[in-house]
Chains A and B, each alone.
Chain A
């Protein structure tokens, strides 16, 4: 938000081009990366619902809101630090900072203020362990990923995925006050899912990360290596997903869902690993695009199955899991 004053000539519109563009409310909302926030809210909610004890619905609502705001604050701080490369890349050049709607200092202050607010509110509403986890998530995403490792390692997607994997752990901790094997497996599911999801995307989008000097696996190790990486991570992902079947999270719906989804996901990863660039370009990366779309469904259905199983247990349709 710039603090431009309005002059008489501005009213007349005669110097419109000289006026700094002031931010609208939606520009600040854009700083919170609302698309990423949807995943944060959903997985955080699943962690909260799947936890073995209960929480008052209003406190649960506040907890999810705090997790969402904390995730958004991390996004704002990410945009603050990465404003230079956001301005270079086409995909991010319309973000509020490179577009000139929000200046760097405001984005920084906005991010820090919301970080402090979300952590404090979560601590007061639920417990300080969950608040500490949220604070660590923000720290991890901003300092470890954005500031330190994003620009120096092609494994940046893997590291960034860890930050995105924390919400179900925080949701779980908000209810129970601790971390359990189940919440760690939910973390692992998102953590292992992120690399194949983004690398599939990187295969069929013309990335301009190299222009911004951000090392991406497709550029640093080549596309063939990226395809192999997708397969390896998908195998590891299947191991963690199926391991969830043997915990309290593994109700009948989840077990069936996990077996089917992981078989299909693995099939897709094998198909990707076997393809060469000529074949992919000829069909406009049909398999890669299909795999990417399916990866969204994959994560949604795994976590959705956890909620359905928990709901059925609540309705006592089958024994406690």
Chain B
């Protein structure tokens, strides 16, 4: 069976899938970043050590 070139439909679906993937990764990054900022008032070092803003 010979290899057939991708139909244009596939490139459209690929762009949707890649786009959605990037959005999901961005969403995770946003939630993670917000969590760090809210809990540690932006001090990433404290986030890594597990300390909260009140400590």
Contacts and interface: CB of A to CB of B under 8 A. Distances in A.
A58 B7 contact: no
A22 B9 CA distance: 7
A6 B12 CA distance: 13
Nearest to A125: B34
Contacts, number: 44
B16 A23 contact: yes
A58 B31 CA distance: 11
Contacts of A4: 9
Contacts of A121: 30
Contacts of A28: 16, 19
Q: Which has the most chain B C-beta neighbours within 10 Å: A6, A19, A58, A65?
A: A58
B16 A58 contact: no
Interface range, A side:
20 to 34
A28 B7 CA distance: 21
Contact of B34 (A1, A26, A59): A59
Interface in B10-55: 11-13, 15-16, 18-20, 30, 33-34, 37, 41-42
Contacts of A264: none
B12 A24 contact: yes
Contacts of B9: 4, 6, 10, 19, 22
B16 A25 contact: yes
Chain A's interface: helix, strand, loop or mixed, by majority?
helix
A22 B13 contact: yes
Contacts of B16: 1, 22-25, 28
Contacts of B13: 22
A24 B16 CA distance: 6
A102 to B, nearest CB: 11
B37 A59 contact: yes
Contact of A62 (B7, B11, B30, B42): B30
B11 to A, nearest CB: 8
Nearest to B42: A56
Nearest to A22: B12
A65 B16 CA distance: 21
Contact of B7 (A1, A11, A125): A11
9 contacts: A13-B7, A22-B13, A24-B16, A25-B16, A56-B42, A58-B34, A62-B33, A65-B30, A124-B34
Given A22-B13, A28-B19, 12 more contacts: A1-B16, A22-B12, A22-B16, A23-B12, A24-B15, A25-B15, A25-B16, A25-B18, A56-B42, A58-B42, A124-B34, A125-B34
Interface of A: 1, 4, 6, 10-11, 13, 19, 22-26, 28, 56, 58-59, 62, 65, 121, 124-125
